[in-house]
Each structure stands twice: as C-alpha cells, then as structure tokens.
Chain A
Amino acid sequence: MSIERWLSSGPNWQGVSFEEAVRLAVDGMAPEFHAAPLAPEQVAATLRAASAEGLAVRPRGAGTKMGLGNRSTRYDLALETGGLTAVLEYRPDDLVAVALAGTPLAAAQALFAEYGQWLALDPPFAATTTIGGTLACNQSGPHRLRYGTARDLVLGMQVAYPDGTLARSGAKVVKNVAGYDVHKMHVGALGTLGVIVEVALRLHPLPAERRILACVPPSDNPPWLAMASVVGGLLRLPLGLGAIEALNGEAGRRLAVDGFAVPAGDLLLVVCEGHPSVVGRQADEVGRAAAAAGLWTEEIATGDGVARLTAALAEARAPGERDETVLKLSVPLGDTLPSLAELATALPGAPVIAHAGSGVVHALPKVATAEVPLLVAQLRAWARGRGGHLVVQHCAPEAKIGLDVWGPVAAPRLVRGLKAALDPTSTLNPGRFVEGL
C-alpha cells in the first residue's frame, strides 16, 4: 500500500488476534491494537491519531527489552518498527551510515563488516535487536571502554512526536554543532518523548587483530584488590584496549560459548585489539600488570572467537528466564572493582559482572519475587551512598508492583517538563519511565 493510501485509509492500526496479544503482551498487559508503519511519515501519523484518540502507545522494535521499565499504566497500541528497515546511506570512506530505526543491528553490522567497519556497540540481544531499540534503551557492551556509548556514536536522528511532528536534529557528518543535540536526549529515553525513526551513525574500522586474555588470581587469595590494581594500572596507559571485563565465578559459568575454556573462578577478561604489533604490546602490558599483582594470564580467544566471546559477555547480562532479576549498578570508575567485590559477597550465588573500566556492574541475584523490592531498596541505598545508581533491568512482572525500577533522577522538574513539552498527552509508554512518567 502506498503511503498516501495508508494515511488516508482511516485508523492506522488493526485489532490484535489472540496470538498477537500473547506475543505483544508486556508485564501481563496486552494491547488492543497494533500498527506496523512502513515509513517515518506513517509513524508520525499513527502517533498523532493515537494521541487524538487517547490511546497509549508502546513502540516496539524486536521486542527484546520490553520488560525494561516500570509497569505501564496503560497499553493500547503496539507500534512496531519492523517495517522501517533499511540502511539508507552508507559512506565507507566517511565512516558514516544512516539507517531506519527498525533495521536489525546484526544486518547492519554484516553490511558494515563487508567494508571492514562496524558500529562500535556490542549490546545484549545483538543478534536480534534493532538499531532503534538499542539506542532508545541506551544499550552498550564491553567495548564501551574504547568507543563510548550510544551518545558518542549517534550523529543525528529523525524522531516522530505524538503531535505528528517529524523533526530532525544533528547531521550526517562526524562533526557538527548546529542546533540542540536533541538526538542525545532520545538515547535512553525509552521512546517516552518520541519514536526514533531514522539515525545517522558514526562507524569505526574493525581492528586487524583481536585477542582476549584472562587474568586469573590464585585461588587461595581474595582476588578483588589485586584485580583492581591491574585494572587501575591499565587504565592509566594509552593502550587503546577494547574492553576490560571483571566477573565472578558464577558469571563466568554463564559464558556458555562453545569452544572456549573460560577459567573457573573470579577473573578479568581483557580485549586487546588493533594492529598486530599493537595487540602484542597490549598483551605484554596486560601480562606485566597481572604478574605484578600476582595474577597469571592466559590467552583464551583469538580471531572470530573474540567477537563470539564478547557477545557472550554482553549476553551474560541479559535475563535468561522470565523471572530472572538483572540489576545494573553504576558507580564512579575507580570504585568498580570494590563494588563488584561487595556485591559478590552480599549476593551469594549471584553472577556479578562489570565493565571494569567504565563503572558499570551487573548483578543477577537469586531472589524470590516477593523479596525483589526490599533488595532493590537496600542495594540502591548502597549505590547512592557511593554516588551511583541502581536500575532494575529486568525482573518478574509481579515484582514490579510497588517498585520503581529506575530510582531517583537528577533535576526531576526538567525531566517532567520535557515529557510535558514533547508528549503532553502521555501517549508514549505512560508510566514506564522515571518519575512515573
């Protein structure tokens, strides 16, 4: 159907069948309608119509992170971006690409890889997630150490707003200071201010060589202090390491990747990457820092294995089952390893895994649904005491009743003001975001 006909054909959505309702249900709520627009203009038209009708809209890419956020207060219409699938522009000799939001991340990466490039994001659900969903949820992975997070990689955006406005910010070039960086506000906004329909992205060259080294402490010593000194030392050198991950034994067991022998127990995994001579030097420095702290070093992945293992490291933070609790704690950089140690001690049996050079720790406690709110309250108080945050990335839907998965925000008046200014009808994801927005 042409866009014109689609727009003029009455309601921009259809009722959902029982099967679709099951597929689209979130936190025990199923929508009455769903829409699958095929162009940015259709997204805007759908939002405008839904806003006028008072329907609550939940944007959905591949549906991998629908459980992120508080329980929505209303959910009438699932707006699926699966029809917005295309890499519209790709300039390998400018390291820039423009894609529609529903484009599967993996498909885009496969295209970029043909030219020896990639979008330097290695989030959980990388095999299935869409680019738009990854950005809206501000997902990142081990390589955030070297390349930063989505805000550092997004050059521009087109966004559809509930009043039907389609608006751009940024540009399609790597450097630009014209206008407000509205696109960075939409990163991590969970589609609560508008629906991302198109993004311009900065790409990076794929490194010529990659290796993963494991730094393993002796089993009879408390390892975290030694691991912290290794990480601290490496971060003070201009090595350009790809990633430094720290994990306890339980998290290591989640790395069920064929063909890898990940050493048992607590350890560091360091991704060395670049020109072969650079990788050699990086490996030497890792080995030296580890040895000085009493750890031994072992190479556990090379070549294609590196991408599979880093993907597994990202995936280790994804919920494995419906009721699994995934907590994301962020702390000042230098407190990452001590925080990991305290969490591992406080949560016996829980996988705990950190982006050790970035201040982000994920914990997956084995906790009964009824106990989740209390645990979150305790750990959030602890994180805030360190100047940090705790966000519940996933938990049983029942556990969300009476729980704020986000915690307090800075400048709540501005946060509420932005929501009121851009989504005054509370059409988008009502109740799902911070401050009950």
Chain B
Amino acid sequence: MGEDSGTPAGSGLSALAAELAAIVGPDRVLSDPYSLSLYSYDGGTDAAASELVVIPEDGAQLAAVMAAVGRAGVALIPRGGGTGLAGAVIPCEGGVTISFARLRRIVSVQPEHLTARVEGGVVNLQLGRAVAPLGLQFAPDPSSQAASTIGGNTAMNAGGPHTLAYGVTANHILGMKLFLADGEAVDLGGLAPDAPGYDLTSLAVGSEGTMGVAGEIQVRLIPRPEAVRTMVAMFSSVEQCAGCVGAIIQSGVIPAALEMMDNNTIRAIEAATHAGYPVEAEAVLLIELEGIIEAVETGLESVIEICNRAGAIELKVAASEAERAGLWKARKESGGAMGRLAPNYYVMDGVVPRNTLPQVLAAVERIAAEHNLKVATLLHAGDGNIHPALLFDSDQADAIDRVRAAGAEILQVCLDYGGSITGEHGIGVEKLDMVRRMFSDDDLEIMLRVRDVFDPHRRCNPGKLFPTPGRCIELHGRSLIEAHW
C-alpha cells in the first residue's frame, strides 16, 4: 500500500495529509487515485470519490488523528468493513475517510460482568470466536458478520437473523468512547447501568456516524445456548407461509430465528449450494430454536404443530449439525446465489407489522409484475423485516429506472401498513429520497437539532441519513449488481 501513496488528490488537504502521515506513518495515509477508488463504495450501489484515507494503528493514533482532523475542520467518514448496503461510508462530500481496518484489538473481556470492550474495527465474528471458549456470545449476527465490524454494526444498529430472540445491536451496546468532530473524546455509558443524565449511548447507536466516531465500544455478552434445533417448513403458497409467521409470533414461542424465502430464492440458493431446500415449495420457513434443551424441545413441538395447522406440506428437522450448518450457510450466501436468477439484482430492506406479511408480500409481487420485474424475496419474517430482491438485466435500457420505481413503491407499501423504510441496512445515501415519506419536517428538525449538539458543523459523515436538497453521489460501475444481504 505504501508505494501507492502520494500527494492528496483533493485540494487543501495536503497539510492535513502531512500531519496525519506524521501520526500514522506515510504508508498509512492514502491519496493516490487508485487507493482512493477502493474507498469510494461499500456493498451497496452508490459511490463517490474519497479525498484522503487514513488508517490508524491503535487507540493513541486514532485520538491523534481525530484531533488533527478536528483542527483541520474537514469532513470525516468512519469506515469499518465497508459491507453496508446503504452507502453510509461513501465519502460523498469528500473529506477524510478514517479506516478502522487496523483497530482490531479486543481491549478486555470481563466474563464476570458479561461484557467485552473492543476497538471499533474488531470484526463481529472475531469477537464471537474470542468469547466462545468462555461460553459467551455477542448476539447480533448480521449476514456480513465475517467482515463487518462492531463499530459498523453499532453505527448502523445492525440486525441479523437471530435478532428475533436476542434483539438488535442497540440492545447489546453498554457504552462507547465517542470521538466528536472537533477531536474531543467522550465516554458514554459503561459497565454500570442506568447512568444519570440523558442516554447518549442509545442515541448514538444507529446514528450512522453522524454524531461522531466510536473508538472503543463496550458490548454486552450473553451465554451461548446449550441446544440448537433447526427446521424447514414448506408451503404451497406464500400467503399460507406468511400467515404461519403471525401464528408463531402470537403463540408465545420465540424462535431464535424465523426466516422466510420464496420460491425464486429457494431455487437460487439450492442451485448454488445443494443444502437441501425443496425447490418445489412456493415458500419455506427456516426456523431455529435455541436455549436450554427443554426450551428448544417444547418450542420445536409447538412450532411443528402451528406449521401443520397453517397448512405446511412438509416439515424437515435438521438431523445433524452438518445439515443445520448447510441450511444456514445457504441462507447467508443467498446474495451471491441471486446471480443465478438474473444478471443483476437490487436488494431492498423494509419492515411491516408481522400480521400484515401476507398482504405485503402479495403487494410486492404485484408491484414487481407491474414494472415487468421478477422478484425473489427473503425475509427476517419473525421481525417483519422484508428483503425483496428485484431481478433485472442492466443491459435493458430502462431497467434501472423500473427497479427504482418499483423499489420506491414497495417501501411506500411498507409505510402504508405502518412499517419502516429500513429495518437494518440504514438510510445512508440510498434512502435519502424516502426519508421524508416516513418523517415530517418537524420530526427531522428535532433530529437535526440533536445532531447539531454533537456536531455543530455537520462534519461527521455528511450527506447521510438526513435528506438534503442536492445529492452528490453517482452510481458507480457496479451499480445495482452485486448487492447482497
């Protein structure tokens, strides 16, 4: 990397680049066009050129970097694994991208307090592996967990298949060291609960890096389950399958995960992985129960009974750990498998009340058809979090326009049913056009007042989350192609 660095492409940043180089070393400050292009996009569809990238090595360097960037008064964009799908880390207003790639230390694990403190760049799965020998886990498990960071998970309030039973990232963050735009660090929350004052920790989680940059994060750990059972229920209609979700939710059984896939999704992942999903089913539920053996066995019994009552045509309980792992591997790699259905696809993220899933999924099908698009839908059904993938061929002239139009209509349906325009991917830049459909000017005005307390000059991750008059981003070369769940 070092030989690639040169003088900053952006004007006015060369003094800062020199200052940063003195802190982190010249080969950890990137400013040549090739390197910058690598930091111009995330896992989504938007891109914007970076001006400067800095890669601090440890907490001391991060503090010095933040102080220098604060003094320079330029925009700053924190970047974790770059796995987000909403463009929340693209440097759409220039400035300095602060990469957490090397801030990967697990600062402490305190099993007696059921907590760990980690640097923001610690990868989700890395933390999981580190605490597993203690019988503990960090519950949030976004599908990107092999690459996404705790800092990124925190900034975006990441979800995942297992949030149904354990909650999203916000429920597992106890505190953080937050660097503000001027370089000041504040320690929020901590080991002791219920700190007096406003709950700034909860406010900062999910703020998409617009309040500050989390250098270290205090996370909650929970005991690992002693038993796990996984089953697949097959249905001959999407409607029956979706109705079964509501029945399970109301039954009082809380599965650890309750995922739904439609026939297009099933065929794609089965062709890619041969995990054993039934390609003849119109829809399936992937249901997992976790906990103590008794909870898992009685929960499984109840779920099987509910599925049968809801009209499931076949039930299959994973007989071995290998079979279970295969089902999940296929599910988590479903993004890549979509490539078998169409040259391009666009993954959406919306939420609806769980009792409305049958109507909402019917509406999704209808909207896709009206725009001459195929759709493959996957849902964190237990949370009402739908991920329709609109399938298309970008060689067709108007394809992207049709995808965008259909996407907006689908999110409007989510809102019409009382839901949300994003359950876990975030607003980023992707959904700036949709924000005003969900929030009024007054709602946004209050949020902006809050933001301005943390970041009065709006230098932290500018251009994200809040709709602004002009958009500064462009679709990059891979547009709408490789997005995955």
Contact = CB atoms under 8 A, between A and B. Distances in A.
Interface of A: 91-96, 116, 138, 148-149, 151-152, 159, 161, 165-169, 171-182, 184-185, 187-189, 193, 205-208, 232, 235-240, 274-275, 277-278, 280-282, 328, 330-335, 358-360, 383, 386-389, 391, 406-411, 413-415, 417-418, 420-422, 434-435
Most buried by B among A148, A205, A332, A334: A332
Interface stretch (B12-20, B221-229, B270-278, B396-404): B221-229
A388 B198 contact: no
B199 A238 contact: no
B452 A176 contact: no
A281 B385 CA distance: 33
Nearest to B434: A178
A185 B203 contact: yes
A240 B186 contact: no
8 contacts: A94-B384, A151-B170, A159-B446, A174-B384, A181-B203, A332-B113, A411-B186, A421-B453
Closest CB pairs A-B (n = 6): A205-B252, A334-B112, A409-B197, A184-B202, A332-B191, A417-B453
B202 A333 contact: no
Most buried by A among B195, B291, B444: B195
A330 to B, nearest CB: 4
Contacts of B303: none
Contact of B353 (A91, A167, A235): A91
Most buried by B among A174, A386, A387: A174
B192 A359 contact: yes
Contacts of A138: 194, 199
A413 B421 CA distance: 33
Interface string B438-449: 111011111101
A138 B194 CA distance: 8
B192 A410 contact: no
Interface in B42-73: none
Query: What bracket does the count of chain B residues touching chain A fall in?
Result: 35 or more
B223 A236 contact: yes
Majority DSSP secondary structure for residues of B touching A: mixed
Contacts of B440: 167-168
Contacts of B484: none
Contact of A181 (B112, B192, B206, B439): B206
B112 A177 contact: no
B113 A333 contact: yes
A373 to B, nearest CB: 17
B374 interface: no
Given A138-B194, A410-B187, A172 B438 contact: no
Given A281-B293, A333-B112, 11 more contacts: A93-B354, A138-B199, A167-B445, A181-B205, A181-B206, A236-B135, A278-B292, A281-B294, A391-B196, A409-B197, A422-B449
A330 B295 contact: no
A91 B355 contact: yes
Interface stretch (B156-164, B310-318, B365-373, B472-480): B156-164
Interface in B194-235: 194-200, 202-203, 205-207, 222-226
Contact of B420 (A173, A206, A415): A173
B281 to A, nearest CB: 23
Contact of B355 (A93, A152, A177, A182): A93
B195 A161 contact: no
A332 B192 contact: yes
A187 B170 CA distance: 14
Interface stretch (B1-9, B25-33, B338-346, B422-430): B422-430
A406 B192 contact: no
Contacts of A179: 427, 435, 438-439, 443-444, 447, 465
Contacts of A93: 246-247, 249-250, 354-355
B37 interface: no
Contact of A173 (B136, B298, B384): B384
Given A176-B422, A387-B190, A96 B197 contact: no
A413 B198 CA distance: 12
B383 interface: yes
Given A175-B420, A418-B198, A278 B294 contact: yes
Contact of A177 (B136, B206, B247): B206
Contacts of B422: 176-178
Contacts of B359: none
Given A411-B188, A434-B196, A174 B383 contact: yes
A68 to B, nearest CB: 11
Interface string B389-401: 0000000000000
Contacts of A172: 353, 418-419
Contacts of A415: 197-198, 200
B352 interface: yes
Nearest to B302: A275
B469 interface: no
A95 B203 CA distance: 24
B134 to A, nearest CB: 9
A189 B421 CA distance: 28
B297 interface: yes
Nearest to A285: B292
Nearest to A434: B197
Contacts of B101: none
B328 interface: no
Nearest to A172: B418
B450 A167 contact: no
